[in-house]
A = this chain, B = another copy of it.
Amino acid sequence: MEISIDLNGSDPVFAQLIGQIKAAVQSGALGPGDPLPSIRQLANDLELNSKTVAKAYRLLERDSVVETRGYRGTFVHPEAKSNSEVDLNAWVNQTLTATIAEFRKSGVTDAEIRNAFVNVMNEPNN
């Protein structure tokens, strides 16, 4: 499992980590149950902050590509391969595109859309 990080790239580091691990899963380089390097270990190898690696692992676990077993470490999820193909962000992107297109078609200003957006995001609701 070789991971290379481009600090000068436009993609954030944590996203590069996610992308490369997902790619390794899909190519078969990483199989179900395979152990991943520990957060601190990987951070040390790549000379990154442990919080950055932790962030990538946290998101990978939310997508069920990775499984964390407490103090025992992090492992590839049994259904990692199929789960790594699901793109939550693509769905969010499509939905937002359609919604915003409708707003604009109705004459709503981009500034108004952005304004409403931050209002909704910052509301104490759920």
Copies in the complex: 2
Q: In the docked arrangement, what's the CA distance between A90 and B92, Å?
A: 22
Do A88 and B107 form a contact, CB below 8 Å, given A99-B96, A101-B126? yes
Q: Which residue of B has the minimal Cβ distance to A105?
A: B126
Q: Is A59 a contact partner of B109 (Cβ separation < 8 A)?
A: yes
Enumerate A44-96 residues with CB–CB distance to B below 8 Å. 59, 62, 88-89, 92-93, 95-96
How many residues on chain A are close to B (CB under 8 Å)?
Answer: 32
**A41 contacts B by Cβ under 8 Å:** no
A83-126 toward B: CB 8 Å interface, digit per residue (1/0)?
A: 00000110011011101111110111110111111011101011
Q: In the docked arrangement, what's the CA distance between A100 and B110, Å?
A: 18
Q: In the docked arrangement, what's the CA distance between A96 and B115, Å?
A: 11
Q: Is B89 a contact partner of A112 (Cβ separation < 8 A)?
A: yes
Specify which chain B residues have a CB less than 8 angstroms from the CB of A103 in the assembled complex.
92, 95
Q: Is B100 a contact partner of A121 (Cβ separation < 8 A)?
A: yes
Q: Is A89 a contact partner of B104 (Cβ separation < 8 A)?
A: no
Q: Which residue of B has the minimal Cβ distance to A118?
A: B114
Specify which chain B residues have a CB less than 8 angstroms from the CB of A62 in the assembled complex.
107
